């Protein structure tokens, strides 16, 4: 019998996941509940998770590199989180009123994140970014926002350009032209263009994914952080860091603590609640955040920035957030996750080099990215921060990487090229992942998808 291709093997290996996906087609419009979980021919269905591992409906075990889309710095089901959430569920999940946990949570964020003079809780990262734009427009009296090419910021209307070319076409339909006509998209790491755009003095906010596009797939040059801080200050534009992934991960104080740059506004999410749904906050300068405060009738009606949200700062998220932030505040979990990511990057790179394939494995702190192709900038590269904006990572190849990783017991995000590491990952996970990655490369070479 002819050997099955990896795609055919995937189709055969997971009958229960396949059946669940067929059932999903009858009730969920896209079969999944997040665009990123869409996967051809079908995604695997997970039944449980613990530490660095997950298990699927067909009984297979995986090393997990999705990590709750970055929320699970401590890994799945950490006892610190479980105890805090368990206690709080007994006490109350929604008081419909103020409670002290909100203050403890906000005070912890203030202590850890340099730019967090004031804290406003939301229910997601997307909501935090929406509020950042509203605050900036209200505070500056300006309309425009500037984003960098490829930077992701959630699914709010104003940020639906800039994620993928062509740059002036939104990545979703259903928007009004006016939703994005005040969103300008420019290349990153180009001081002249940044200065040219901001010097018109009509830009309210410069929005930056703090470690670069998709957590560093295309990085930010170290010197550009100071450039962004200086140029925004010079022209009265507010500087916004989206630290929804990087916050508490790159360091207890995020990228801004590492780079010693204080943005005017910062969006937080994910690790903020340690993996409990409802993670979001916009934090920033006291004078800007003051736009949210109640004053006299005239201010409240005509000047104030309004914000509501049933679950803002709810007791369950607050308890989970306090437990998580206390646990990660000494930097130990971040160092462990980075140590494992360093090993992974090294071993996976070795697998590429040994096979004489063009490509690299790179990334900073506890994330890794794979690029399979030639790179003109290889000689100037430190394998941490990639400044090659032109490299291509085709969707079709990424899908085959994800499929083959799954077949070999490693669960990568469906785009197949990236992974996020937790403090629960171990050197045993590194060994298993390296073997799996090597097997992926061998299969893709055998199938003629990649060459030497």
Ligand X SMILES: Cc1ncc(COP(=O)(O)O)c(C=O)c1O
Q: What is the contact surface with ligand X in residues (CB under 6 A)?
A: 69, 124-126, 129, 152-154, 209, 242, 244-245, 269, 280
The CA distance from 251 to 144, in Å, is 31
Cα torsion 348, 351, 354, 355 to 10°: value is -120
Nearer to ligand X, 125 or 416 (CB): 125
Q: Which one, 325 or 450, has the nearer CB to ligand X?
A: 325
Angstrom distance (rounded) from CA 242 to CA 367: 16
Question: Please, what is the minimum distance in Å from the beta carbon of residue 132 to ligand X?
Answer: 11
C-alpha separations of 449 from 349, 360, 396, 426, 440 in Å: 19, 17, 10, 31, 11
Instruction: Output 126 or 140, the one with its CB closest to ligand X.
Output: 126
Quote the least distance from Cβ 428 to ligand X, whole Å.
28
**β-strand 61-64 against 410-411: which pairing, if any?**
parallel
Q: Which is nearer to ligand X, 64 or 242 (CB)?
A: 242
36 vs 82 by CB, closer to ligand X: 36
Closest CB to ligand X: residue number: 125
Task: Specify the residue, 17 or 129, whose C-beta has the smaller distance to ligand X.
Answer: 129
Helices (H), 199-313: 213-216, 222-235, 254-259, 286-289, 297-302
Contact indicator for 409, 13 with CB cutoff of 8 Å: no
Task: State the minimum distance, in angstroms, from the CB of residue 214 to ligand X.
Answer: 8
Cross-strand pairs, 183: 145
CB of 241 to ligand X, least distance (A): 10
Q: Tell which residue, 342, 340, 348, has the closest CA to residue 438.
A: 348
Answer yes or no: are the C-beta atoms of 18 and 42 closer than 8 Å.
yes
Beta bridge partners of 369: 362, 418
Give the nearer residue to ligand X in terms of CB position, either 243 or 389: 243
In angstroms, what is the minimal distance from the CB of 210 to ligand X? 8
Give the span between the Cα atoms of 312 and 69, in whole angstroms: 21
Q: What's the closest the beta carbon of residue 280 comes to ligand X, in angstroms?
A: 6
Nearer to ligand X, 253 or 359 (CB): 253
d(CA 406, CA 126): 29
User: Is the C-alpha dihedral spanning 393, 399, 400, 405 positive or negative?
Assistant: positive
Closest approach of ligand X to the CB of residue 39, in Å: 17
CB 18 within 8 A of CB 8: no
User: What gap in Å lies between CA 248 and CA 294, rounded to an integer?
Assistant: 30
Q: Min. distance of Cβ 264 from ligand X in angstroms?
A: 17
């Amino acid at each position: 019998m002819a050997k099955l291709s990896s795609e055919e093997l995937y189709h055969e290996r997971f009958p229960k996941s396949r059946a669940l996906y067929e059932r999903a087609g009858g009730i969920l419009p896209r079969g999944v509940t997040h665009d990123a979980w869409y996967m051809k021919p079908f995604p695997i269905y997970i039944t449980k998770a613990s530490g660095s591992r997950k298990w699927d409906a067909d009984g297979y075990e995986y090393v997990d590199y999705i990590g709750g889309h970055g929320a699970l710095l401590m890994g799945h089901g950490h006892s610190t989180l479980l105890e805090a959430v368990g206690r709080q569920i007994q006490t109350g999940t929604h008081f419909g009123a103020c409670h002290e946990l909100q203050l403890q949570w906000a005070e912890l964020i203030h202590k850890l994140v340099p730019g967090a003079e004031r804290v406003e809780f939301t229910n997601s990262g997307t909501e935090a970014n929406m509020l950042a734009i509203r605050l900036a427009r209200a505070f500056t009296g300006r309309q425009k926002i500037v984003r960098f090419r490829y930077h992701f910021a959630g699914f709010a209307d104003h940020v639906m350009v800039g994620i993928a070319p062509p740059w002036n076409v939104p990545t979703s339909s259903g928007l009004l032209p006016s939703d994005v006509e005040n969103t300008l998209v420019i290349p990153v790491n180009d001081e002249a263009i940044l200065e040219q755009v901001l010097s018109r003095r009509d830009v309210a906010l410069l929005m930056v994914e703090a470690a670069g596009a998709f957590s560093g797939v295309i990085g930010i040059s170290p010197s550009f952080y100071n450039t962004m801080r200086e140029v925004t200050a010079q022209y009265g534009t507010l500087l916004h860091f989206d630290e929804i992934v990087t916050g508490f991960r790159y360091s207890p104080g995020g990228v801004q603590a590492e780079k010693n740059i204080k943005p005017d506004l910062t969006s937080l999410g994910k690790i903020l609640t340690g993996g409990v749904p409802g993670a979001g906050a916009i934090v920033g300068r006291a004078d800007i955040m003051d736009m949210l405060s109640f004053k006299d009738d005239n201010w409240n009606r005509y000047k104030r920035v309004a914000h509501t949200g049933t679950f803002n700062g709810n007791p369950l998220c607050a308890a989970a957030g306090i437990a998580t932030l206390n646990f990660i505040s000494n930097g130990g979990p971040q160092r462990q996750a980075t140590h494992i990511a360093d090993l992974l990057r090294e071993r996976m790179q070795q697998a590429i080099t040994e096979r004489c394939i063009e490509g690299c494995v790179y990334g900073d702190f506890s994330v890794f990215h794979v690029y399979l192709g030639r790179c003109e900038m290889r000689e100037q590269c430190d394998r941490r921060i990639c400044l090659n904006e032109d490299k291509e990572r085709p969707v079709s190849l990424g899908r085959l990487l994800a499929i083959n990783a799954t077949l070999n017991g490693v669960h990568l995000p469906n785009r197949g090229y990236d992974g996020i590491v937790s403090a629960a990952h171990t050197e045993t996970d590194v060994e298993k992942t390296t073997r799996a990655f090597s097997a992926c490369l061998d299969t893709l070479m055998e199938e003629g998808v990649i060459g030497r």
